[in-house]
């Protein structure tokens, strides 16, 4: 994803290993990165769900989303995760029920449409709607 987003599409991503300030508390680096960025992409996998720091990241991004009432959060599922497995992760499950998200597994069938949807989500302040082209996941899955 990094070569496509930074290379081909020309976005500048904030990556912890490259952009977090050494010696600064991690939560401050996370907060500064989220509030200093136009958008936050949460790439959700089973490993992501088990990480304490990733949980803090999506919580902070959710706070910003609700605080600013602006489309600043993009959910991108790296793998299929059934809704019942999201139950322990209340904040993610709640977001998935209300927002359309992108699905990497569905991108195999339509990779060009997937990258167009990612680019469109990054460019606009408008949320992707359920009328978006595939491969977005339906709300509530």
pLDDT tens for 24-33 read 999 999 999 9
Average pLDDT, integer, range 2-17: 92
Q: What is the DSSP string of 89-120?
A: -HHHHHHHHHS-EEEHHHHTT-HHHHHHHHHH
Q: What is the DSSP string of 65-88?
A: HHHHTS--EEEEESS---HHHHTT
Q: CB–CB of 54/43 below 8 Å? A: no
All domains of the chain, ordered by start, with CATH?
A: 14-137 (3.40.50.10140)
Is 90 exceeded by the pLDDT of residue 99? no
Is 70 exceeded by the pLDDT of residue 114? yes
For residue 46, the number of C-alpha atoms closer than 13 Å in the C-beta half-sphere is 6
Beta strand 40-44 with 73-77 is parallel
pLDDT at residue number 135: 40
pLDDT at residue number 139: 37
């Amino acid at each position: 994803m990094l070569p496509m987003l930074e290379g081909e599409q020309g976005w500048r991503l904030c990556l912890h290993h490259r952009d977090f300030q050494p010696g600064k508390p991690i939560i401050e680096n996370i907060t500064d990165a989220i509030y200093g960025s136009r958008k936050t992409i949460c790439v959700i996998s089973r490993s992501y769900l088990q990480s304490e720091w990733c949980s803090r990241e999506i919580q902070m991004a959710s706070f910003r989303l609700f605080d600013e009432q602006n489309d600043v959060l993009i959910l991108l599922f790296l793998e299929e995760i059934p809704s019942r497995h999201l139950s322990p992760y209340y904040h993610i499950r709640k977001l998935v029920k209300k927002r359309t998200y992108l699905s990497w597994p569905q991108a195999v069938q339509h990779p060009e449409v997937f990258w167009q949807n990612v680019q469109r989500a990054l460019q606009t302040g408008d949320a992707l709607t359920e009328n978006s082209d595939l491969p977005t996941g339906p709300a509530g899955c």
